[in-house]
Amino acid sequence: MTPTFNQIQFKFLLIPIISLMLASCGVKRESIVYFQDETASTTSELADFEIRFKPDDLLTIDVSAIDPEAARPFNLPAVSYNASSVDLAQGTLKMQTYLIDNEGNIEFPVIGSIKLGGLSRSEANLYMKNLLKEYIKDPIVNIRLANFNITILGEVNSPGTYSLQNEKVSLTEALGYAGDLTIYGRRDNVFLIREIDGENRYYKFDLTSINVMNSPHFFLTQNDVIYVEPNKAKIRSSNYNQNNVVLISAIATLATITALIFK
């Protein structure tokens, strides 16, 4: 049967309605481009940043000297652990760690309690070196943070908790570890949650501006949490998937009824 004029009119009416609904879920270029205000004259100096040790940090401390035997009492013995569950017979040596307690102290061989909480790595190295000079000639101290973890949540491609070897990691580097923001992540509203003295502090970043690199919180500290908020397109898309299904069903029903009426 040949469609009537009213049927054809109704079908053509549905096309722009559905198109508008789909277009409302689109993402604008301005919402996904980083550093939009960057110009030839824009400069950004990276801060001379070092993390500071705090309670619950795990530290590896390696002490060496010209005379290895003199330094031996100040090093914890390495422990063996299984590198994989497949080959249980083959073990790998791993340095033991020192736990910083709630008072900021560690228990160190021979010397006893040493306060390292609140110090940067370079400060702690120098402090330990001066203490060890009473026992060792020309000691060399190498301190590393063994549990530098950050957590990245929200609209990124690979959310999760990451254990990092580098102790100087910027916000943008961390997001790179998580596979970058998805197309639905808000570049202008990235949150950082940081614990300071037992309290959570919240900082907001706008990645669409090059000035984000000038923030005093641009470099991360241990146990930082980054949250990327979804943009309006994602919210609209979610609402579309959850609520507008009803609207589409209603339109389809209306189309069927109209077709029957004008049949």
Three-state SS string across the chain, please? CCCCHHHHHHHHHHHHHHHHHHHCCCCCHHHCCCCCCCCCCCCCCCCCCCCECCCCCEEEEEEECCCHHHHHHHCCCCEEEECCCCCCCCEEEECCCEECCCCCEEEECCCEEEECCCCEHHHHHHHHHHHHCCCCCCCEEEEEECCCEEEEEECECCCEEEECCCCCCEHHHHHHHCCCECCCEEEEEEEEEEEECCEEEEEEECCCCHHHHHCCCCECCCCCEEEEEECHHHHHHHHHHHCHHHHHHHHHHHHHHHHHHCC
Span 29-49+148-230 CATH architecture: Roll (3.10)
Q: Is pLDDT above 50 for 200?
A: yes
Q: Do domains 29-49+148-230 and 58-145 have the same CATH topology?
A: no
Average pLDDT over residues 180-206: 94
Give pLDDT, residue 248.
Answer: 63
Superfamily in which the 58-145 domain is placed by CATH: wza like domain (3.30.1950.10)
Dig out the tokens for 8 from the structure: 């054809």
Compute the mean pLDDT over every residue in the chain, rounded to the nearest whole number: 81
Phi, psi of 72 (to 5 degrees): -55, -45
- Return the pLDDT at 1: 52
pLDDT of 197: 86
Percent with pLDDT over 70 in the chain? 68
For the record, the structure tokens of 236 come out as 């609209």
pLDDT by residue (tens digit) across 114-170? 999 999 999 999 999 999 999 999 999 999 999 999 999 999 999 999 999 899 999
What number of other Cβ atoms are within 10 A of residue 143's Cβ?
21
pLDDT digits (tens, 9 = 90+) for 99-128: 999 999 999 999 999 999 999 999 999 999
pLDDT tier, 238 (very low <50, low <70, confident <90, very high otherwise): low
pLDDT tens-digit readout, 11-66: 555 555 555 454 444 555 555 688 777 664 445 556 588 999 999 999 999 999 99
Domain ranges of the chain: 9-27+235-261, 29-49+148-230, 58-145
pLDDT band for position 5 (cuts 50, 70, 90): very low
